[in-house]
Chain A
């Protein structure tokens, strides 16, 4: 792309009025995506945003790209058809915790294990917003909501643990309002295959500040931003994550005077699937929240395998409709039937 055609965030914004609640975290994510797009070197006409149903799923209407607002939980299936029909398209799935993990859990699992080349942005606000505040599959036990006035009794699912369990080859986390979100999005886009990104998104109306223990400015010390090849340090480098090799569990250790090596702090290897499982399962408060690219280990993509198999199976065969319908054991009727 030359300078003349350099696009700006505005080129990716539609003229439609954005209709989320004032103060919704979705605005911040939309801005981050629109800001990231020009840096990806993609043309708007080659990008398709596909969504299901929910607050976040209105997202495609605000992106000046191709967009398909589909049905609840099923966005991955539409995205799969789009990508198989035209593998050159850059496909983004926008979904929420209810859309992806409740009604659409099955499709989420399969799009991840198939490794369709796409970016999946899961806006996790731990609540059903569009239907006015019922608890969701990611809500913590005890969540009081219109449908659980005495508190929810079931245990929540961890989106990133679900993704890893489904065979995802790229798992990342971001925060709606955090400046690092564009970098996470860029990494997701650069990854060939299904890139799963959980975005902690604040629902100001029904679940305000549910992530404040690590997203609030004063709690930024509870954020562990992971970088490949760098030590797992947080709280301004005063603490880090080490591996208890006896218990095969992670633990928080203090780091004195920057001597992380001495403290036995782990160095982030995104290809280490076992550590990734431990990182996504770290309980909040006792541990920091792991953010950034938690896991990345590319594998062949679904659509490339389909394209290759279609090509191999077609090699040397000339499509001939007349020959096709005439196939099989046939016979000619002239005056007297006889076998040919």
Chain B
């Protein structure tokens, strides 16, 4: 499974895994509905019992000019009969809805791979927009691949004719025709998609029926002799999986669910302050529908107000949560410092995207690690954890909530655009298996004649949490340094030293509450360790598995806790001959590891806005062992 909790058995890990797996990429104009097609194909794949991973890749523009290369939206899915950890290096099948989609994607296709093209869109105008001098479907330039072309646009128009839609609306059904064909190619059941269409267009029955007709027509087209056996139908067996109830989940969904679960395990109401930003907004959207779980969502006027309101709610006794992406996190930095100083629990979710500045809003990157660990004024320590996959994000969100309330500190949860948007099968967890961590608010008034110290601490060094409204405990907190013993303003040199040391010790102390670092493939002492964090888990895991199958002495170590680091990590890293750190940035975890442990961690970097390919990491492994 592509879930983080599933670690392979030694036999599985050592086996040269050549699973039956297929990578399909749907590419079209951003108005062609490719993300919808991909999403429904994913659902049908999951229902068929295959393991899968997806990679939605879409432009930042909502509706880029039609037919242009920069308006191409793509959705890639890798599915198979064995564990799938990545969305696949190169597609086996490319569905190209227009010349621009073909042009921007065809080079990724495996040699001999299959192109399915909508011939109806390959007119002179669209060819020119894509920058083609001649029609690639006819000039032989696609010779390295198999090409199947037919006029999907016309076939769709024919299929939906009985429903009396306008030409534009009728052509909108093209994506369902294509989906129907893909469902036939992989021997899939149409019933769940039909059900979904009926629900989606509950208020417009003719649209539902037209889309269903297109879906059926695409399916029938594959089934009948029209293609003359050009497209072999392929059945991929279900992947072995632990028994249980499964669903698909995206990172944005699992983080939202994990935050709700975290608040419930803490016995708190949740307050979520957010501001729209790609790719983080989906978390706000999900949570705004979960009010019956004691969730209040607030769309603030800006990123600063979003975190300010969350800190205010934390002060008033709720679990405060805010979420954003790099540029918004930058705006929140001053308020994070206040939460550190006021020692209030807060979860900050950063769905990283390509940076700096506006950067690549819809593309993925892991370049906010420095920002998370170091990015505030003053000595401002804050726990940081990173999710490795959509499913793993659920447990990470719960862990972030636990640390926040047990240590009275803001916690940053790092995810990225890839995790936020990608879907994978998720074994529904048994919620009764999660130990609760109920919060106890401080309510006891101090003894007569004794002052009340709002900065009194427990053995974890966590400050007491007093809700306004509690009689006898009125007090003031804020961003100015406070006296260790009284909580009053205090600028004295020795006191600032003591408070700074205390805040640092408190956050470093979190390491006592987290598990020791495990090795997820191989063991300690290998010739090479590949150390990763976040969404690079999939490609690293597969690359290390393949390298081990080739007899190489390589291990995979994947960090969830970025700060503080697990207490055994230094010894573990020092046990390896060499260390490489693949990251979708210029070497940020690498710097952290070198700084903390004086180990010779070498960077493997990629900042193209695209996830690592397995082959790229395999090449880095070979290079490191040369």
In chain B, residues 289-309, which have Cβ atoms closer than 8 Å to a Cβ of chain A?
290-294, 296, 298, 300-302, 304-309
With known contacts A313-B291, A319-B293, A337-B241, A88–B469 Cβ distance under 8 A: yes
**Residue contact A333 to B243, C-beta cutoff 8 Å:** yes
With known contacts A45-B470, A81-B320, A324-B290, A334–B247 Cβ distance under 8 A: no
Min CB–CB distance B248 → chain A (angstroms): 7
A45 and B192 alpha carbons, distance in the complex (Å)? 56
Proximity bits, A143-178, B CB within 8 Å = 1, else 0: 000000000000000000000000000000000000
Question: Does A237 lie at the interface of the complex (its beta carbon under 8 Å from any beta carbon of B)?
Answer: no
In chain B, residues 459-495, which have Cβ atoms closer than 8 Å to a Cβ of chain A?
467-480, 488-489
With known contacts A81-B271, A336-B238, A329–B247 Cβ distance under 8 A: yes
Min CB–CB distance A67 → chain B (angstroms): 4
Question: Does A184 lie at the interface of the complex (its beta carbon under 8 Å from any beta carbon of B)?
Answer: no
For chain B, give the interface size range.
35 or more
Proximity bits, B308-351, A CB within 8 Å = 1, else 0: 11111111111010000000000000110010001000000000
Min CB–CB distance A321 → chain B (angstroms): 5
Across the interface, which residues of B come within 8 angstroms of A321, CB to CB? 260-261, 264, 293, 431
* A46 and chain B: residue at smallest CB distance: B469
**Residue contact A329 to B47, C-beta cutoff 8 Å:** yes
A328 and B301 alpha carbons, distance in the complex (Å)? 32
**Residue contact B305 to A333, C-beta cutoff 8 Å:** no
In chain A, residues 303-339, which have Cβ atoms closer than 8 Å to a Cβ of chain B?
306, 309-310, 313-314, 317-319, 321-322, 324-337, 339
* A50 and chain B: residue at smallest CB distance: B312
In chain A, residues 58-89, which have Cβ atoms closer than 8 Å to a Cβ of chain B?
60-61, 63-71, 74, 76-86, 88-89
With known contacts A333-B241, A337-B238, A325–B429 Cβ distance under 8 A: yes
In chain A, residues 247-304, which have Cβ atoms closer than 8 Å to a Cβ of chain B?
none
Min CB–CB distance B294 → chain A (angstroms): 7
A289 and B394 alpha carbons, distance in the complex (Å)? 59
A178 and B307 alpha carbons, distance in the complex (Å)? 38
Across the interface, which residues of B come within 8 angstroms of A65, CB to CB? 474
Across the interface, which residues of B come within 8 angstroms of A49, CB to CB? 476
**Residue contact A333 to B247, C-beta cutoff 8 Å:** no
Proximity bits, A112-138, B CB within 8 Å = 1, else 0: 000000000000000000000000000
**Residue contact B301 to A81, C-beta cutoff 8 Å:** no
Question: Does B420 lie at the interface of the complex (its beta carbon under 8 Å from any beta carbon of A)?
Answer: no
Min CB–CB distance B584 → chain A (angstroms): 29
A191 and B557 alpha carbons, distance in the complex (Å)? 60
With known contacts A79-B312, A81-B309, A318-B292, A66–B261 Cβ distance under 8 A: no
**Residue contact B334 to A71, C-beta cutoff 8 Å:** yes
Min CB–CB distance B488 → chain A (angstroms): 7
A70 and B342 alpha carbons, distance in the complex (Å)? 9
Across the interface, which residues of A come within 8 angstroms of B43, CB to CB? 329
B245 touches which of A61, A319, A330 (Cβ 8 Å):
A330
Question: Does B129 lie at the interface of the complex (its beta carbon under 8 Å from any beta carbon of A)?
Answer: no
B478 touches which of A60, A76, A330, A339 (Cβ 8 Å):
A60
Across the interface, which residues of A come within 8 angstroms of B48, CB to CB? 337
Question: Does A8 lie at the interface of the complex (its beta carbon under 8 Å from any beta carbon of B)?
Answer: no
Question: Does A16 lie at the interface of the complex (its beta carbon under 8 Å from any beta carbon of B)?
Answer: yes
Across the interface, which residues of A come within 8 angstroms of B338, CB to CB? 70-71
With known contacts A326-B428, A333-B244, A339-B47, A66–B468 Cβ distance under 8 A: yes
B468 touches which of A86, A318, A335 (Cβ 8 Å):
A86
Question: Does A31 lie at the interface of the complex (its beta carbon under 8 Å from any beta carbon of B)?
Answer: no
Across the interface, which residues of B come within 8 angstroms of A110, CB to CB? 300-301, 305
A48 and B312 alpha carbons, distance in the complex (Å)? 11
A contacts with B: majority SS: mixed
Question: Does B246 lie at the interface of the complex (its beta carbon under 8 Å from any beta carbon of A)?
Answer: yes
Across the interface, which residues of B come within 8 angstroms of A328, CB to CB? 247-248
* B466 and chain A: residue at smallest CB distance: A66
With known contacts A78-B315, A330-B247, A337-B49, A45–B431 Cβ distance under 8 A: no
Min CB–CB distance A312 → chain B (angstroms): 9
A80 and B306 alpha carbons, distance in the complex (Å)? 10
**Residue contact A45 to B296, C-beta cutoff 8 Å:** no
* A336 and chain B: residue at smallest CB distance: B238
Question: Does B242 lie at the interface of the complex (its beta carbon under 8 Å from any beta carbon of A)?
Answer: yes
A44 touches which of B261, B428, B474 (Cβ 8 Å):
B474
Across the interface, which residues of A come within 8 angstroms of B469, CB to CB? 45-46, 66, 86, 88-89
With known contacts A77-B305, A107-B301, A85–B246 Cβ distance under 8 A: no
**Residue contact B246 to A331, C-beta cutoff 8 Å:** yes
A68 touches which of B192, B246, B264, B476 (Cβ 8 Å):
B476
**Residue contact B292 to A319, C-beta cutoff 8 Å:** yes
Across the interface, which residues of B come within 8 angstroms of A80, CB to CB? 298, 300, 305, 308-309, 312
With known contacts A77-B308, A306-B296, A337-B49, A85–B271 Cβ distance under 8 A: yes
Task: Give the 6 A-B CB pairs with smallest separation, nearest first.
Answer: A81-B312, A69-B478, A77-B308, A337-B49, A81-B309, A67-B476
Q: A71-B479, A77-B273, A106-B302 are in contact. List 7 more A-B contacts (CB 8 A).
A: A69-B480, A77-B306, A80-B305, A86-B317, A319-B292, A324-B290, A333-B241
Q: Could you tell me which A residues sit within 8 Å of B by CB distance?
A: 14, 16, 43-46, 48-51, 60-61, 63-71, 74, 76-86, 88-89, 106-107, 109-110, 306, 309-310, 313-314, 317-319, 321-322, 324-337, 339-340
